[in-house]
Amino acid sequence: MFKSSVALVTLLAGLVHAIQFPRHRLLNDDRQVLAQSLDAKYGPFYFDQRVDHEAGSTATFRQRLWVNADWYQENGPVILYNAGEMPADERAVYVTNSSMALLARELNGAVIVMEHRSYGQSQPGPDYSTKYLKTLTTANALSDMANIILHFEIPALGRALPPPEAQWIVYGGSYSGNLAAWMRQKYPDLVFAAVASSAPVQMKRNFYEYFEPIQQYGPPECINAIEQVIKHVDHILATPFSHAKAELKDRFGVKDLTYDDDFAELLSMPLGLWQDMTPARNPFGEFCKVFENAYTLNDQIDAYAGYIKNAVVKSCRDEPLDHCLGTHDPNASQYTDLQSEVRPWMYQVCTEYAYWQTGNLPWKSTIVSRHLNVRWYERQCPLFFGKDEVPHVPAWRAHNKKYDGWHIQLNRTFWLDGEMDPWRTLSVNSDHAPSPDTSNPTAVYAVIPGGVHHWDFFVSDTVSDFIKQLHKDMVHTLRSWLKDEGQSAKETPLANHQQQPMNQHPFSV
């Protein structure tokens, strides 16, 4: 949630997981297999959802859900998870195997995985043309969740469980972590508590900070090699000599890739593997092995170029590189294919969120070319959706004003982040965010040492003792909140798990 390039989304779906062109989508292939083998009793089920809550439309579409009420007992809570920016069948397994399922089991509750509007099979329109994406807004997504809370009948129970009949806990990670927090903020009477994991609630346009945790925590030799290669690349791209640029691109196997910014973006592709790390898998460490015997700049360039050629360029087969890897042709299929699953997230970042991941500031070292800039991203928005159909600049400032960004203050809310997660730089646990309100005993802040993107979701034996204890503490605290039910003066606080950044590198290559 990985390559920024829209063209690479299709080519590298099995290699890199992103929120595409910002990198957020991170489900692993083994989870998708688990989702496919999920018992049919858990779904999918369907709910008739309004197409446009904001316009008061009476038209509806079918929204897809999975439900596990195996552990439910009367007066138990309902855990609601919105799958966010991907088809929900890839996350349906969470009703039986996740931290959400763990909470439902321990609290005698039910757990629901719902599909976000405009993703998977939950479609307000027949395709992803702009006119059908107009209702893909934060406000409508939150209203969808509120409608589910109020009216969805749990199949195994044969009835709905609206508050106060049941207390609803909204759990989410990454973009869906934002939704969890915003639901607690905008619908406090419906949402009893929220768990916002790896939630980048601070919208940002020039998001160069995304790559800084990789530089900070990555293997030093590997990071140094990447920095040196990118420094050389930017030096060549800044020259007026076309032959030097052609020789450089040829070295990476893309001599016929016309535009320098597309070349720059291509080189950032392996960095998405950082976010794809799990407690059991370290694909970024595997990538770094290419530099093991590369001690000179020339060797480092060859190592990086070899990886790009083998991992990316070969996938283009006989397709022209400007079509396969380029972003400048308005007639390219990536812009004209109205069935492309890239389009809904692109619409959201082009209209509201931005999150453009760019090269670092000029006075800092960078592992991403500075030719990968805001213009590279925003140039594509009108090509996708039409010049007059999206704002010139995403409305990220207005969004921060409406939802408070990382200044958001909520009670009965867990804020969970991985120490090494690139998205922590935009969360309330960011080193750049205002200091957390530790005077609120029911605002819980936890940073998982050595963790990356919503590692609290994992419940296998491979997770750290810290995560296992965090799960136990969450159960204890939620049980206390549910018992007290609104008596805030008596709520039992959970000791915050905020950690100081670790100096050592928590994995080896």
Mean pLDDT over 150-173 rounds to 98
The predicted pLDDT at position 375 comes to: 98
**How many residues in the chain?**
509
- Confidence category of residue 439, pLDDT binned at 50, 70, 90: confident
Q: Where are the alpha helices (DSSP H) in 68-208?
A: 99-106, 130-133, 138-151, 175-186
pLDDT band at 16 (very low <50, low <70, confident <90, very high): very low
pLDDT on residue 504 = 30
Percentage above 70 pLDDT, the chain? 88
Mean pLDDT of 9-14: 34
The predicted structure's pLDDT at residue 156? 97
Q: What is the pLDDT of residues 353-394, one digit of tens each?
A: 999 999 999 999 999 999 999 999 999 999 999 999 999 999
Model confidence band, residue 27 (pLDDT cutoffs 50, 70, 90):
very low
Q: How confident is the model at residue 31 (pLDDT cuts 50, 70, 90)?
A: very low
Q: Tens digits of per-residue pLDDT, 66-97? A: 999 999 999 999 999 999 999 999 999 999 99
Whole-number Å distance between alpha carbons of 496 and 508? 29
Give the confidence band of 486 by pLDDT, cuts at 50, 70, 90: very low
Does the structure show a pLDDT above 60 at 501?
no
Q: What's the pLDDT tens digit per position in 136-145?
A: 999 999 999 9
Buried/exposed 36-69: b ≥16 CB within 10 Å, e otherwise: eebeeebbbbebebbbbbeeeeeeebebbbbbbb
pLDDT of residue 9: 37
For residue 125, CA distances in Å to 3, 117, 346, 435 come to: 27, 10, 17, 43
pLDDT at 5: 38
pLDDT score for 11: 33
Which residue ranges make up each domain of the chain? 29-203+402-490, 211-385
The predicted pLDDT at position 23 comes to 40
242-277 per-position pLDDT tens digit: 999 999 999 999 999 999 999 999 999 999 999 999
29-203+402-490: CATH, from 3.50.30.10, 3.40.50.1000, 3.40.50.1820, 3.20.20.70: 3.40.50.1820
Q: Rounded to whole angstroms, what are the CA distances from 195 to 170, 276, 278, 355, 483?
A: 6, 21, 20, 22, 18
Global pTM reads: 0.91
Encoded amino acid at 51, one letter? V
d(CA 426, CA 204): 8
Is residue 57 very low, low, confident or very high in pLDDT (cuts 50, 70, 90)? confident
Average of per-residue pLDDT across 403-431: 98
Q: What is the pLDDT averaged over residues 4-17?
A: 35
- When the pLDDT of each residue in the chain is averaged and rounded to a whole number, the result is 90
For residue 204, give the H/E element and its range. strand 204-206
* Strand locations in 182-276 (E): 191-197, 204-206
pLDDT average, residue stretch 23-51? 69
Ranking 55-64, 222-231, 486-495 by mean pLDDT, the lowest is: 486-495
In angstroms, how far is CA 281 from the centroid of its own chain?
18
Choice among 205-209, 310-314, 469-473, 505-509 with the minimum mean pLDDT: 505-509
3-state secondary structure of 60: strand
Average confidence (pLDDT) over 270-285: 96
Q: How far apart are CA 424 and CA 430, in angstroms?
A: 5
Residue range 109-132: mean pLDDT, rounded: 98
How confident is the model at residue 126, as a pLDDT?
A: 97
Residue 2: pLDDT band by 50, 70, 90 thresholds? very low
